[in-house]
Amino acid sequence: MKFKLIVEMLKKVFLALFMVAAMACSADPRVNLDDDGSIKLKPDAQHAVIVKDIVGLFESVHYKKVPLNDSLSSIIFDRYLKDLDEGKNYFLASDIKQFEQYRKTICDDFKEGDLSSMFYIFNIYEQRALERFKYAVAQINDPFNFNQSDTFVFDREKKAWFNSVKEADEAWKKRIKYDLLNLRLSSTDKSNDEKNRTTLRKRYDNLISQTKQTNSNDVFQRIMDAFTGAIDPHTNYFNPYFAQDFNENMARSFEGIGARLGLENEVVKVAEIIPGGPVFKSKALQVDDRIIGVAQGKDGEFEDIIGWRLDNSVSKIKGPKGTVVRLKVIPAGQELSAKPKIVSLVRDKIILEEQSAKKEVKEVTGEDGKVVKVGIIKLPGFYMDAKAANDGDPNYKSTTRDVRLLLDTLKQQHVDAIVMDLRSNGGGSLTEAIDLTGLFIKEGPVVQVRDMRNQVEVDEDKDPSISWDGPLGVLIDRFSASASEIFAAAIQDYGRGIIIGTQSYGKGTVQSAIDMSRVISPANKLLLKAQAQAGKIKINAPEGSPQFGQINLTMAKFYRINGSSTQHKGVSPDIEFPMIYPANKYGESSEPSALPWDQIKTSSFTPFSNLTADKTVLEAKHEKRMKASPEYKYLLDDIAYLNKRENETSVSLQESVMKKERDDLEAKNLERANERRKLKGLPPLKKGDPIPKTNYDFIEDESLKVMADFVSLEKR
């Protein structure tokens, strides 16, 4: 997609912002954070520069054209408090009353680069959180009566803020009791309360440790989350670490050692080894190994990373392809006091194959008794390694390239139909959505994009070749979004295939990723560099990531080729299943700041076929099967149960009551699981056997039956 108009607008905005050289606030900050010696975290100069420039972008090129006024300030204020303390477990009512003076001043402060009030609120939050965690640790050894009739409110979102420390203590006392009761009921040794207390104490000690490691960049990220989220749900500022993660996810690749790392008791632990990476090939590490030191190159000095934040440790371990990293490792199962082994690894480019398109072939018997082979391509996202493509790498990673190869293989396996499974596919590259559509249609428009000046660009597939011209189905759910919706909508509008599932997410906006280094003026960059050299600020960024972070800015809106926006409404399936997750809590329509649905002119296109009559037949056959399906009844029961649980906010703290509720639920789940296993000819499970998580395989099974019907109609 070219976005010529958007590129021109960005050039003008960058030119205007470059002319603004003033870095410091022109007025005193609203809150003097130096007055209180207890204030731990403060904004620095780069935060002031970034927020001012983001304000400039919002005022100049954001699609929504939202005025930065008192009304928006109030929305930011509420979002920030909700983000910090959604469950109302930490702040006191007196804190909130004190914060109210900042409700309508936030946007004015942001324009001046003043973040003092937002940092002040965070510092109070962190202080309250540490008070709560320390109180919890102090209460763990107290005696608890698990036979007493009492309840714990686990969801306090609609409750009032705590009026006093005493009220907070009472609520947290019940939380400790709830945590201990959970451990007691899930333990094989019900009488070993001391072990449960030790487990819980470690949990809260870890929360205290992690809270104390919060830095000013973390606070700035949360402030920006509240700011951008108040504008629209999909405009996001990413600090350098988050920007790197976002871009690596889009590329489905990164450079490093090929291991996913976690944190346990302040020590970095190997959580997963990625196939094909240096660790996998060398077999130098295994899952649960702990990394306590990192050195760069063959001769670099080791740095002890025990107690470090995970992101800081990861940034030391990851690095450019071809470079050497050495690790001090305590093998799994050994004590930390054991002698560490030294592991030397050459970093490489890691391709995340498990997050790439995959295929499988399934057979289904149609109503006519004929066996139909269906090729299923599961696509978790629309990805493209833009850097590798721009560098001229002929083997760069992309959705369309992967799917084209899978289609070629499936054709060799003589499948009768293809299903593109886009369930839980949140989108990704717009270019890939267009190119992927082109594998199934002749050349023509795929999506329309309207920018902030109401000018419409039509993006087309210009390749007349088709990789698959047979029966096609697209499987979607409530979490199929953005690029998934563009693809599904185009397939539906062209009459190219059948859309199966539930109404999709409804994300119909276009974001452009902007490196903040392109926005910050040269004068401000020099000033920031000088401050960093003087040790006044730290500009930490992983190698290859945007130095000052990245903003994904909403600058345009998607429209189907039939003129309808995918925003808010999403794509409605031709063959529909009940929605498992309530639309009022999940999806674009649940977002208060979401843009509305609207419509523009239809694009000129030639339909592939008219499936109206086929859809009527397929829907009738589907409805008939559903009415006779036990699995369909189970789905409706599960939806009713989930809706009931959504409305629950408290739980009993009486052991006998909680145990009975759990035993009843376990018995019901066992009964349901065995009913399902009986339908599949599997032996029953016994009490105590692990019960497989419900994954609604019957939705895929029913989709295959729909495709079998579709194949028989196509062969008429």
Q: Note the pLDDT tens digit of each residue in 290-309.
A: 999 999 999 999 988 887 88
In a domain, 596, yes or no: no
In a domain, 562, yes or no: no
Phi and psi (nearest 5°) for 135?
A: -60, -40
| pLDDT of residue 222 exceeding 80 | yes
**Neighbour count for residue 668 (Cβ, 10 Å):** 12
Range of the domain at 669: 622-714
Question: Which of 351, 382, 417 finishes a domain?
Answer: 351
In a domain, 464, yes or no: no
Find the mean pLDDT for residues 640-659: 86
Q: What is the pLDDT of residue 273?
A: 86
Residue 708 makes CB contacts below 8 A (sequence gap 6+) with 364, 365, 366, 367, 372, 374, 417
* Residue 266 and residue 335 share a domain: yes
In a domain, 418, yes or no: no
Find the mean pLDDT for residues 426-447: 95
In a domain, 497, yes or no: no
In a domain, 299, yes or no: yes
- CATH of residue 304: 2.30.42.10
Residue 558 makes CB contacts below 8 A (sequence gap 6+) with 447, 448, 449, 482, 485, 486, 508, 509, 510, 565, 566, 567
Phi and psi (nearest 5°) for 150?
A: -160, 165
**14-28, 283-297, 686-700 — which is least confidently predicted?**
14-28
* Residue 221 and residue 284 share a domain: no
Closest CA to 217 of 543, 515, 542, 520: 542
Q: Which of 311, 461, 493, 614 is catalytic?
A: 493
Contact 242, 157 (CB under 8 A): no
| CA–CA distance, 508 with 504 (Å, rounded to integer) | 11
Local confidence band at 16 (pLDDT 50, 70, 90 cut-offs): very low
Contact 515, 465 (CB under 8 A): no
* Residue 93 and residue 199 share a domain: yes
**29-38, 89-98, 107-116, 615-624 — which is least confidently predicted?**
29-38
| pLDDT of residue 27 exceeding 70 | no
In a domain, 74, yes or no: yes
Give the up-direction half-sphere exposure of residue 143: CA atoms within 13 A in the CB hemisphere: 3
Q: What is the pLDDT of residue 414?
A: 97
The total of structural domains in the chain comes to 3
Q: What is the pLDDT of residue 3?
A: 43
Local confidence band at 18 (pLDDT 50, 70, 90 cut-offs): very low
Find the mean pLDDT for residues 347-373: 88
Pair type for strands 550-559 and 444-451: antiparallel
* Residue 196 and residue 76 share a domain: yes
| CA–CA distance, 145 with 181 (Å, rounded to integer) | 10
Q: Give the type of residue at 386.
A: A
Q: What is the pLDDT of residue 715?
A: 76
Local confidence band at 698 (pLDDT 50, 70, 90 cut-offs): confident
* Residue 275 and residue 218 share a domain: no
Where is pLDDT greater, at 642 or 411? 411
Residue 544 makes CB contacts below 8 A (sequence gap 6+) with 244, 255, 320
Q: What is the pLDDT of residue 11?
A: 55
pTM for the model: 0.85
| pLDDT of residue 38 exceeding 70 | no
Mean of pLDDT over the chain: 89
Find the mean pLDDT for residues 420-436: 94
Phi and psi (nearest 5°) for 496?
A: -85, -25
Tokens matching residue 263: 């944190």
Tokens matching residue 123: 């510092």
* Residue 257 and residue 213 share a domain: no
* Residue 109 and residue 213 share a domain: yes
* Residue 220 and residue 272 share a domain: no
Q: Which of 313, 429, 482, 484 is catalytic?
A: 482
The region that residue 540 occupies, defined by phi over 0 for left and psi between -120 and 50 for alpha, beta otherwise, is: beta
* Residue 76 and residue 207 share a domain: yes
In a domain, 272, yes or no: yes
Question: Which of 351, 377, 398 finishes a domain?
Answer: 351
493 is catalytic: yes
Q: What is the pLDDT of residue 191?
A: 61
| pLDDT of residue 165 exceeding 80 | yes
**334-343, 537-546, 598-607 — which is least confidently predicted?**
537-546
* Residue 278 and residue 172 share a domain: no
Quote the percentage of the chain above a pLDDT of 90.
Answer: 58
Contact 371, 364 (CB under 8 A): yes
Q: What is the pLDDT of residue 645?
A: 78
Residue appearing with tokens 């018995």:
667
Q: Which of 177, 378, 507, 621 is catalytic?
A: 507
**116-120, 219-223, 480-484, 689-693 — which is least confidently predicted?**
689-693
**137-146, 339-348, 673-682 — which is least confidently predicted?**
673-682
Closest CA to 501 of 349, 651, 699: 699
- Mean pLDDT is highest, among 191-205, 243-257, 619-633, 665-679, for 619-633
| Residue 651 DSSP SS3 | strand
| pLDDT of residue 15 exceeding 70 | no
- What one-character-per-residue DSSP string does 281-310 give? HHT---TT-EEEEEEETTTPPPEE-TT--H
Q: What is the pLDDT of residue 586?
A: 87
* Residue 213 and residue 86 share a domain: yes
| CA–CA distance, 421 with 413 (Å, rounded to integer) | 19
| CA–CA distance, 165 with 172 (Å, rounded to integer) | 10
Long-range contacts of the stretch 401-405 (C-beta < 8 A, 24+)? 402/356, 402/357, 403/357, 403/377, 403/379, 403/436, 403/439, 403/467, 404/439, 404/467
* Residue 102 and residue 156 share a domain: yes
Where is pLDDT greater, at 406 or 276? 406
Q: Any idea of the CA torsion for 22, 28, 33, 36, to the nearest 10 degrees? A: 150
Q: Give the type of residue at 628.
A: A
Q: What is the pLDDT of residue 528?
A: 85
Question: Which of 198, 231, 264 finishes a domain?
Answer: 231
